[in-house]
A and B are shown apart, each in its own frame.
Chain A
Amino acid sequence: MTEVEYVGKSIRRADSVKKVTGALEYTIDSNMAGMLHGKLLRSTFARARIISIDIAGAQKMPGVVAVLTASELPQPVPRFGPVIADQPLLASGETKYHGEPIAIVLANDEDTAAAAIRQIRVEYEELPAVCTVADALRPDAPLLHPGGKRHDGRICDSNVCGEFEFKWGDVDQAKRECARIIDDVYSFPMIHHHALEPLSCIAYPMDGGVAIKSPIQSPFILQRVIASCLGLELSAVRVIASDIGGGFGGRGYPKLEPLAAYSAMRTGRPVKISTSLDDGFFTVRRLAATVSIQTGFDSEGRIVFQDVKADFLMGAYADACTRIVQKAGFLGCGLYRTPNARIVSRAIYSNTVVSTAWFWYAPVGVGYRVSDECRKPVIKNRSARNQVAQFARQRRGFCAG
């Protein structure tokens, strides 16, 4: 047999020496000559109207080069997003989640930027917010993006941004024919990826465009999103994807980079926006979900149908959630052979932190929950349990496809 060079061999990671000696430069470790430090002022309400922002005190601090709010940006405020460009660089008119950036201070050093943030005075009018699936779907619920575009291009007339249906067979017929039906509702909380490297990014003007260094997991998407948001050609945006101090899906999509890129082009200087590890909780989360599953079994314990409704709490802006929710939908029956199925998954806006992928487009355990359903009827029936276990072992008979 031919000797192989890599397969079956223990190969050292290419970057491991740098990592064990502390020589690897993560974005948080990077600095550039003439760099401005950017610090963010964040909203402290789930939803509020911004009545006024007084930046005069911050502007006149020595070492502060610029203070930007939505008013200082081009109008309408540039928006970004990998699927729907709905997230403004800075909150405009209304803040839509607790922690949304509403101002940025750009200063010559980090301490000055942090001190200047504390000089900004904001007057808010708190507004009713929707922070659960149930609240967001109420007929009288305030809309996060009235007049905004849904995933399918239609105009939003509710907080549902995307709705995906997968079906085969005839679920309604199957419901009439099966021996036993189990119904349950599962809920998944929002969790935070909590990579150890606090998020930061550095942007600098370059040849009429901009370069951006970030621990982004998907550099080409970042390039496209920044180009689109700032009205640049793709060739005018250079992305340097630095080694990440953990990502887990939380660094998949643009967050602070578009603002850093805009700030760099506006000031003509490199800009580093750095945040604390705590700020991560205000930046990105995993989707929360409420999943109702109805499963029908025949008298021998085989699945006859699945009727799944999965509602995902997306947060204030879409990020990549519509795609994630769509994929969660088509994996909604898990590993089981299901002759009749109807899966409806919805991505719903809410006044909560923006959600995104978790590891990969994990279907939030919808399939796993289906496994739970299958175990339930057999708890009481030992022989049926043995049968289900046997079926599970015979992948051919039990797994989809």
Chain B
Amino acid sequence: MFTEQNRNAGRAMVTDSIAITFTLNGATTSIDVSCTHTLAKVLREQLGLIGTKISCEQGECGACTVIVDGKAVNSCIVLAPEVDGCEVLTIEGLAQHGELHPIQTAFIEEGAVQCGYCTSGMIMSAKALLMENSDPTDLDIREALAGNLCRCTGYQRIVRAVSSAAKKLQTVDAGSMKG
């Protein structure tokens, strides 16, 4: 069942670095990555996108949250090669044409930003939530953000900001449907 040919074919696939192509913030991106590098490291160091933050490096704190194929993930425990063929959205991809995304505006207005280190991850988790659920309850918000830690704010304002952003986005949607 298992031939020498198989073995050779297998060995041919083994590699240290690999070319990947993926969509990054809407743009097709092709780069070579080291297979041991995480998505977070590649985003920050190879692509210069420092908005995705490194903190615990073990998928506990959520500071490194990005959205891959529509789902919030911890980029510190995703290997860079894994996003080949995927759609990746980072914090840098939220603001469009110089205009802040309603979630970003809500975080500012609700005072949900102190040191700011958790903020990118919080906003990306919020974005992922609102992509799935446009009218979340406070409990929905807390569950969606349970994997994002904040050492400064005590979370209340962050939850309010997400709730406020949800309402803003519903208004925008309702408005655009009329037109």
Q: Chain A: residues with CB nearer than 8 A to chain B?
A: 10, 12-13, 15-26, 28-29, 194-198, 243-248, 276-277
Contact = CB atoms under 8 A, between A and B. Distances in A.
Given A21-B95, A23-B51, 6 more contacts: A12-B108, A21-B91, A29-B44, A197-B55, A245-B53, A277-B61
Interface of B: 44, 49-57, 61, 63, 90-92, 94-95, 100, 104, 107-109, 111, 113, 115-120, 123, 149-152
Contacts of B108: 12-13, 16-17, 20
A17 B100 contact: yes
Contacts of B150: 196
Contacts of A245: 53, 55, 115-117
Given A196-B61, A197-B55, A276-B57, A21 B104 contact: yes
A248 B115 CA distance: 11
A247 to B, nearest CB: 8
B94 A29 contact: no
B96 to A, nearest CB: 11
A16 to B, nearest CB: 4
Contacts of B63: 196
A19 B158 CA distance: 14
Given A13-B113, A196-B63, A244-B115, A20 B57 contact: no
A196 B115 contact: yes
Contacts, number: 91
Contacts of A17: 100, 104, 108
16 contacts: A13-B111, A17-B100, A17-B108, A19-B119, A20-B100, A20-B119, A21-B95, A21-B104, A22-B91, A22-B120, A28-B54, A195-B117, A198-B54, A243-B115, A245-B53, A248-B151
A19 B63 CA distance: 13
Contact of A196 (B92, B95, B104, B118): B118
Contacts of B100: 17, 20-21
A118 to B, nearest CB: 15
Nearest to B124: A22
Contacts of B111: 13
A31 to B, nearest CB: 8
Q: Considering residues A20, A23, A197, which has the most beta carbons from chain B within 10 angstroms of its beta carbon?
A: A20
A189 B20 CA distance: 49
B117 A196 contact: yes
Nearest to A25: B50
B116 A15 contact: yes
A245 B63 CA distance: 11
A21 to B, nearest CB: 6
Nearest to B91: A22
A82 B100 CA distance: 43
A21 B100 CA distance: 8
Contacts of B118: 196
A243 B51 CA distance: 14
A195 B116 contact: no
A22 B52 contact: yes
A22 B55 contact: no
B146 to A, nearest CB: 16
Contacts of A15: 116
- Which of A21, A276, A277 neighbours the largest number of chain B CB atoms within 10 Å of its CB? A21
Interface hub of A13, A196, A245, A277 (most chain B Cβ within 10 A): A196
Given A17-B100, A22-B49, A25-B50, A196 B113 contact: no
Contact of A197 (B90, B95, B104, B115): B115
Contacts of B117: 26, 195-197, 245-246
B116 A24 contact: yes
A28 B120 CA distance: 15
Given A194-B151, A195-B151, A20 B115 contact: no
